[in-house]
Amino acid sequence: MKQETIEQLLERYWDCETSQEEERRLSDSFSNGDIPDNAKKYQALFAWKQAQAQLKGSKKLKSGFHKTPVIRFYPIMKIAASVLLVLTVGIGFYTRYEQEKFMDEIFAETYSNPEDALQETKEVIGKVSSVLQLAKDRKIKAEITDSLEINKIQNKIK
Amino acid sequence: MRQDRLKKNILPIADKLFRLALSITGNKEDAEDVVQDVYYNVWKKRDEWEAIENLEAYCFRSVRNTALDKIVLKENQHQTIPDDFDFPVQGGDIQHEMEVREQIDSLEKWLKTRPEIQQTIFLLREIEGMSYKEIATVLNISEEQVKAYLFRLRRKLKEYFEKMER
């Protein structure tokens, strides 16, 4: 760049008449050392600008939010919560269904006529009681036999 | 959608926001705290993003306000450029480098004496290369006001350099 142009640019710079592009060109000229002697007194300004532009925050700033790590896991948490919800509701419905099925089987209506059902029940109860009576008779009989046997043995010993 | 805006518009300007915060607080740790607070608050307000016309400008404005609140609480103003910073000086002349460093230090001190709004406009224009319109949006003032503040600062800056030369 011509030296006259830099001086002219500088004058317009101080008056705030330079564009962003012209101000960039001015900075570039100073950082390249491509400046006339009488402009060297402003060198510190452009060195300061260059140094400032290189100042950076630590990396954690760009990675976002160390105060709220939950944000980074936000989408995963949403998916996990949905899966958990579907599973819970699903298991609930399944258990209830199985339970109802089981109860239905137990209390299923097998007779259309109540009298038939009564008759059948009486028969079943009759069978059960006769079986019980039979068992009782056998037990008494066994007890009598046992005591007779014991008497026999006792007599022999005497 | 929000994650996209976060990645595309907000996280990449972290360094710019950091420099603005640093220019106001004058302290690296405070500046980082400011940017983090702003990011946190901006994220909390994500439901309102649709209503915010310019999210970047909103971030800059929040950083400025948060940083200003911070210095009211804590009146410490240090230099922003670290002592071990390697200044790009032509020629590799150590004596010249030391001179430039000294000049920069006194320039920084001088800039700190200017009104905060002028300093902020100066930074947004000179370092971040923003247009007058963008700066006006950030500060919620007119473009003419931005130009007037910058004009005042540049005029004073020119006088400062002329005085230093004598």
Indicate the length of chain A as a whole number.
158
- Give the predicted TM-score (pTM) of the model: 0.60
Q: What angle do CA B38, B42, B44 make, to 5 degrees?
A: 120
- ipTM (interface predicted TM): 0.74
- Per-domain residue ranges of chain B: 1-78, 114-166
Q: Residues 6 or more apart from B25 whose CB is under 8 A from it?
A: B31, B34, B67, B70, B71
Task: Indicate whether B82 pLDDT > 80.
Answer: no
Chain B contact for A43 (CB, 8 A cutoff) = yes
Q: Closest Cα of chain B to A97: distance in Å?
A: 41
For the segment A82-95, the average pLDDT, to the nearest whole number, is 91
Query: What is the token pair recorded at B148?
Result: 């007037």
Multiple choice CATH, B1-78, 3.50.4, 1.10.1740, 1.10.10, 3.30.70: 1.10.1740
Q: Are B123 and B108 in contact (CB under 8 A)?
A: no
For the segment B31-53, the average pLDDT, to the nearest whole number, is 87
Q: What angle do CA B15, B21, B24 make, to 5 degrees?
A: 145
The fold of B114-166 is Arc Repressor Mutant, subunit A (1.10.10)
- What confidence score (pLDDT) does residue A3 get? 53
Contacts 24+ apart (CB under 8 A), B121-128: B121/B146, B121/B149, B121/B150, B121/B153, B122/B150, B122/B153, B123/A52, B123/B19, B123/B20, B123/B23, B124/B20, B124/B60, B125/A23, B125/B150, B126/A23, B126/A49, B126/A52, B127/A49, B127/A52, B127/A53, B127/B19, B128/B16, B128/B19, B128/B20
| Dist CA A132 CA A135 (whole Å) | 5
Torsion sign (Cα): A61, A64, A69, A73 = negative
Are B18 and A45 an interchain contact pair (Cβ–Cβ within 8 Å)? no
Chain segment B87-145, per-residue pLDDT in tens? 655 556 777 777 888 889 899 999 989 999 999 999 999 999 999 999 999 999 999 99
Q: Which of B11, B155, B161 sits opposite A41 (nearest CB)?
A: B161
Chain segment A4-36, per-residue pLDDT in tens? 588 899 999 999 999 999 999 999 999 888 888
Quick one: which H or E segment has residue A149? helix A114-157
Q: Which of A10, A16, A66, A72 to mutate to test the interface with B (most CBs of B within 10 A)?
A: A16
Fill in the DSSP letter of residue A78.
H
